[in-house]
Amino acid sequence: FRNIIINGDMSIAQRGTSSSGITSGGVYYTVDRWETELTTLGTWTQSQSTDVPSGQGFAKSLKMDCTTADASPASGDRLYVRTLFEGQNLQYLKKGTANAESLTLSFWVKSAKTGTYIVFFYDQDNARSISKSYTIDTANTWEKKTLTFAGDTTGAFDNDNALSLQVNFFLGGGSDWTSGTLNTSWNSWTQANSAVGSVNLADSTANEFYITGVQLEAGTSASDFEFL
């Protein structure tokens, strides 16, 4: 149980395997544990796909398909998929102490749109965040990415069953999210610093985004995906 992510291989989709005409967020549309956050940034079809990286043991991925484009986001527009965690399950990370654990996130990703993408963590209990960028180098090709986030010595997670940590895969947004300086170390949350430099996946109906094999673990290196 080293992987903090639940359903990181996108194998469980109890609500259904496809949902079209998506224009708003705060909803779990298909794959369990993966919520869509969307504010007026195009129209989307989300599905549990069988398109996966070859030879890695995965059978499913989460797919976002742009069906109505928005190439000029308004300031508050946003699109990201995220997964959420209770504080009682994160106490061993020792956040808010001198011994805070680093976290390493690894995942497989594929998109028709190359360029810079952002992952940001948000500490719900203390309004703190950290962001990291990664690059999709080749269109329509599965690539593995690994990002390491330093431990946060400020602000412990509450030891209860309420939301403490968000892991957000940002796919596009307006200036409220992208106009500052990318926040690459833990700090008090400033929205404009969350996703600076991110592509806008909504700028063309040719754009699709796939993700699977998401693993988050304590430490500074990624291990092989933990199939459970």
Give me 155's structure tokens: 């602000």
Separation between Cα atoms, residue 116 and residue 2, nearest integer Å: 28
Distance between CA 131 and CA 150 in Å, rounded?
A: 11
Which of these, 78, 83, 79, lies nearest to 35 by C-alpha position?
83
* Percentage of the chain modeled with pLDDT above 90: 99
Band of residue 139 on the pLDDT scale cut at 50, 70, 90: very high
> For residues 225 and 94, what is the distance between their CA atoms, to the nearest angstrom?
23
| 61-88 pLDDT, tens digit each | 999 999 999 999 999 999 999 999 999 9
Whole-number pLDDT of residue 39: 96
Q: Read off the pTM.
A: 0.97
From the CB of residue 80, how many other CB atoms can be counted at a distance below 10 Å?
26
Cβ 12 vs Cβ 61: under 8 Å: no
State how beta strands 78-86 and 115-123 pair: unpaired
